[in-house]
């Protein structure tokens, strides 16, 4: 039996600056303390928090991005900051490897942060109705829940 998660109960503003590794002071492959950022395909961007001038430090991340249906990994690189936090471009649900091209100028922590990215979703039994007399659109999920909104008139 697989474990179920309520994706809507996830804190969307979550952040953890040392989730993967803290106090990184060497180049090469970073030893990861954890690798799964989100449950059920949710994810965040990978963050790098530097305390010194790491503008020229290249951080390479390999992992499964949010929304990847085949489970394949991608690899991307991003630059560190100068006593600042920088983020990857992709949102990751799982990170399998992180490496640095050179020794950081000071202590570097690698974690995650930013907005929550939700996985792809499939909605079943979605019905759209339009009442031409009142110019309202009704959306029904299954057949018990509905929402109404104004729809622009067609000329």
Domains of the chain, by residue range, sit at 7-117, 122-155
Percent of the chain surpassing pLDDT 70: 68
Whether residue 108 contacts residue 80, with contact meaning beta carbons closer than 8 Å, is answered with: yes
Q: Residue 1: which residues within 8 A CB-CB, separation 6 or more?
A: none
Q: How far apart are CA 18 and CA 1, in angstroms?
A: 32
Q: Residue 102: which residues within 8 A CB-CB, separation 6 or more?
A: 27, 56, 57, 58
Q: How far apart are CA 102 and CA 113, in angstroms?
A: 23
- pLDDT tens-digit profile of 81-106? 999 999 999 999 999 999 999 999 98
Q: Give me the chain's average pLDDT, please.
A: 79
CA distances (Å), 26 to each of 3, 11, 48, 105, in order? 37, 33, 14, 10
The predicted model scores a pTM of: 0.70
How high is the pLDDT of residue 150?
A: 47
């Amino acid at each position: 039996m697989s474990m179920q998660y309520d994706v809507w109960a996830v804190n969307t503003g979550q952040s953890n600056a040392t989730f993967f590794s803290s106090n990184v002071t060497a180049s090469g492959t970073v030893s990861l303390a954890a690798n799964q950022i989100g449950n059920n395909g949710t994810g965040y961007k990978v963050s790098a928090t530097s305390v010194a001038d790491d503008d020229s430090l290249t951080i390479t991340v390999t992992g499964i991005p949010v929304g990847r249906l085949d489970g394949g990994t991608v690899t991307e690189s991003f630059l560190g900051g100068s006593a600042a936090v920088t983020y990857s471009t992709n949102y990751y649900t799982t990170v399998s490897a992180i490496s640095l091209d050179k020794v950081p100028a000071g202590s570097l922590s690698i974690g995650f942060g930013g907005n929550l990215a939700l996985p792809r979703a499939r909605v079943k039994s979605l019905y759209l109705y339009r009442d031409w007399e009142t110019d309202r659109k009704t959306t029904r999920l299954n057949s018990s829940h509905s929402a109404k909104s104004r729809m622009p008139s067609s000329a």
